[in-house]
Structure 1
Amino acid sequence: MDTTTTHTFDFEQAFTTLQGVVKRTPLEYNAGLSLKYNANIYLKREDLQIVRSYKLRGAYNKISGLTADQLKNGVVCASAGNHAQGVAYSCKKLGIKGVIFMPEITPRQKITQVNMFGGDNIEVILVGDTFDDCLKEALAYCEEKSATFIPPFDDEKVIEGQATVMMEVYQDLPELDAIVVPIGGGGLASGVTAYLQTVKPNVKVFGVEPMGAPSLSEALKHGGPVTVENIERFVDGAAVKRMGWITYKYCSDLLSSTYLIPEGQICTTILKLYNEDAIVVEPAGALSVAALEQVKDQIAGKTVVCIVSGGNNDIERMQEIKEKSLLFEGLKHYFIVRFPQRPGALKLFVNEVLGPQDDITRFEFIKKTNRENGPALVGIELAKKEDYAGILQRLKEFKFDVIELNQDATLFEYLV
Structure 2
Amino acid sequence: MRQTRLDTDRIRAARQVIDPAFLDTPLYRCEALEPGLGCAVSIKLETANPVRSFKGRGTELVASRLAEDGPRAVVCASAGNLGQALAWSARGRGLDVTVVASRFATEAKLDRVRALGARLELVDGDHETARERAAALARHDGIRLLEDSLDLETCEGAATIGLELVDRPAAVPPYDAVLVALGGGAMATGVGHVLKALAPGVEVICVQPQGAPALTLSWRARQVVTTDATETIADGVAGRFPIPSVLDDLLLVADDAVLVREPSIIAGMRLLLHHAGLVVEPSAALGIAAILEDRARFAGRHVVTIVCGSNVDMGSYHRWIGAPPQRGAATLLRSDRGGRAER
Asked if Structure 1 and Structure 2 have the same fold, meaning a TM-score greater than 0.5 normalized by the shorter chain, the answer is yes
2:119 to 111, 120, 123: 123
Counterpart residue number, 1:227? 226
Structural mapping, 1:288-303, within 5 Å: 288-303=287-302
Q: Deviations over 1:154-177 (max 9, x none)?
A: 222211100111211221258221
Whether the aligned pair in 1 keeps the contact of 2:269 and 2:321 (CA below 8 Å) is: no
Q: Which residue type is aligned with residue 263 of structure 1?
A: E
Cα distance, 1:201 vs. partner? 1.2
Counterpart residue number, 1:51? 51
1:139 to 111, 118, 135: 135
Distance change in 2, residues 1:305/1:138 (3 Å): same
Cα distance, 1:21 vs. partner? 4.5
CA distance in 2 between partners of 1:3 and 1:228 (Å): 26
CA distance in 2 between partners of 1:21 and 1:300 (Å): 35
**Structure 1 regions of 5+ residues with no counterpart?**
324-416
CA distance in 2 between partners of 1:175 and 1:258 (Å): 22
Whether the aligned pair in 1 keeps the contact of 2:75 and 2:144 (CA below 8 Å) is: yes
CA distance in 1 between partners of 2:178 and 2:263 (Å): 22
Whether the aligned pair in 2 keeps the contact of 1:75 and 1:149 (CA below 8 Å) is: yes
> Residue 48 of structure 1: SS of its match in structure 2?
coil
Q: Which residue type is aligned with residue 31 of structure 2?
A: A
Q: Which segment is superposed worse, 25-34 or 292-301?
A: 292-301
Cα distance, 1:314 vs. partner? 1.0
CA distance in 2 between partners of 1:303 and 1:187 (Å): 24
Structural mapping, 1:365-380, within 5 Å: none
Cα distance, 1:295 vs. partner? 4.1
Cα distance, 1:195 vs. partner? 0.8
Q: Which residue type is aligned with residue 283 of structure 2?
A: A
**RMSD value, Cα:** 2.1
CA distance in 1 between partners of 2:248 and 2:201 (Å): 18
Counterpart residue number, 1:64? 64
CA distance in 2 between partners of 1:224 and 1:202 (Å): 26
CA distance in 2 between partners of 1:17 and 1:236 (Å): 29
Counterpart residue number, 1:35? 35
> Residue 16 of structure 1: SS of its match in structure 2?
coil
Whether the aligned pair in 2 keeps the contact of 1:39 and 1:302 (CA below 8 Å) is: yes
> Residue 66 of structure 1: SS of its match in structure 2?
helix
Cα distance, 1:221 vs. partner? 4.8
Whether the aligned pair in 2 keeps the contact of 1:154 and 1:243 (CA below 8 Å) is: no
Greater relative contact order (CA < 8 Å, ≥ 6 in sequence): 2
Whether the aligned pair in 2 keeps the contact of 1:269 and 1:290 (CA below 8 Å) is: yes
Counterpart residue number, 1:168? 164
Residue 315 of structure 2 corresponds to residue 316 of structure 1: yes
Whether the aligned pair in 1 keeps the contact of 2:29 and 2:41 (CA below 8 Å) is: yes
Counterpart residue number, 1:306? 305
> Residue 91 of structure 1: SS of its match in structure 2?
helix
Whether the aligned pair in 1 keeps the contact of 2:103 and 2:123 (CA below 8 Å) is: yes
CA distance in 1 between partners of 2:18 and 2:67 (Å): 18
CA distance in 2 between partners of 1:275 and 1:41 (Å): 15
Cα distance, 1:139 vs. partner? 0.5
Counterpart residue number, 2:148? 152
Whether the aligned pair in 2 keeps the contact of 1:206 and 1:256 (CA below 8 Å) is: yes
Counterpart residue number, 2:214? 215
Counterpart residue number, 1:94? 93
Cα distance, 1:273 vs. partner? 1.9
Cα distance, 1:319 vs. partner? 4.9
Q: Deviations over 1:208-253 (max 9, x none)?
A: 0011111212323543233323111521111112121232122222
CA distance in 2 between partners of 1:25 and 1:224 (Å): 34
Distance change in 2, residues 1:191/1:276 (3 Å): same
Cα distance, 1:200 vs. partner? 0.8
Q: Deviations over 1:111-160 (max 9, x none)?
A: 111122x22xx201111332222111111111111110111112222111
Whether the aligned pair in 1 keeps the contact of 2:264 and 2:293 (CA below 8 Å) is: no
Sequence identity (%)? 28
Whether the aligned pair in 2 keeps the contact of 1:100 and 1:124 (CA below 8 Å) is: yes
Whether the aligned pair in 1 keeps the contact of 2:269 and 2:279 (CA below 8 Å) is: yes
Which has the larger Rg?
A: 1
> Residue 22 of structure 2: SS of its match in structure 1?
coil
Structural mapping, 1:397-408, within 5 Å: none
CA distance in 1 between partners of 2:135 and 2:230 (Å): 21
Counterpart residue number, 1:110? 109
Cα distance, 1:305 vs. partner? 0.5
Q: Deviations over 1:350-378 (max 9, x none)?
A: xxxxxxxxxxxxxxxxxxxxxxxxxxxxx
Q: Deviations over 1:160-212 (max 9, x none)?
A: 10011121122125822110000000110000111112211121011000111
CA distance in 1 between partners of 2:275 and 2:175 (Å): 24
Counterpart residue number, 1:79? 78
Whether the aligned pair in 1 keeps the contact of 2:53 and 2:309 (CA below 8 Å) is: yes
Residue 271 of structure 2 corresponds to residue 241 of structure 1: no
Distance change in 2, residues 1:129/1:285 (3 Å): farther
Cα distance, 1:286 vs. partner? 0.9
